[in-house]
Amino acid sequence: METDCTVLNVDKLTYAAVPGALDGIKAHPRYRFVQQDICEQDALKALFSDFQPDAVMHLAAESHVDRSIDGAAEFIQTNVFGTYAMLQAALEYWRELPLAARENFRFQHISTDDMAEYLTKRDPTQFAKELQQVPGVVGYTT
Ligand X SMILES: NC(=O)c1ccc[n+]([C@@H]2O[C@H](COP(=O)([O-])OP(=O)(O)OC[C@H]3O[C@@H](n4cnc5c(N)ncnc54)[C@H](O)[C@@H]3O)[C@@H](O)[C@H]2O)c1
Nearer to ligand X, 41 or 111 (CB): 111
Interhelix angle 113-122/124-132, rounded to 10 degrees, is 110
Minimum distance from residue 35 beta carbon to ligand X (Å): 8
> How many chain residues touch ligand X (CB under 6 A)?
20
Of 45-84, which residues contact ligand X (CB under 6 A)? 59-63, 78, 82
φ, ψ of residue 86 in degrees (nearest 5): -65, -45
Residue 93: in which H helix or E strand, if any?
helix 83-95
Query: Does residue number 11 form part of the binding site for ligand X (CB under 6 A)?
Result: yes
Task: Tell me if 39 sits within 8 A of 84, measured CB to CB.
Answer: no
Query: Does residue number 12 form part of the binding site for ligand X (CB under 6 A)?
Result: yes
Task: Tell me if 40 sits within 8 A of 85, measured CB to CB.
Answer: yes
Stretch that binds ligand X, among 47-55, 85-93, 110-118, 131-139 (CB under 6 A): 110-118
Nearer to ligand X, 40 or 97 (CB): 40
* Number of other CB atoms surrounding residue 38 within 10 Å: 24
Q: Which residues bind ligand X (CB under 6 A)?
A: 11-14, 16-17, 37-39, 59-63, 78, 82, 110-113
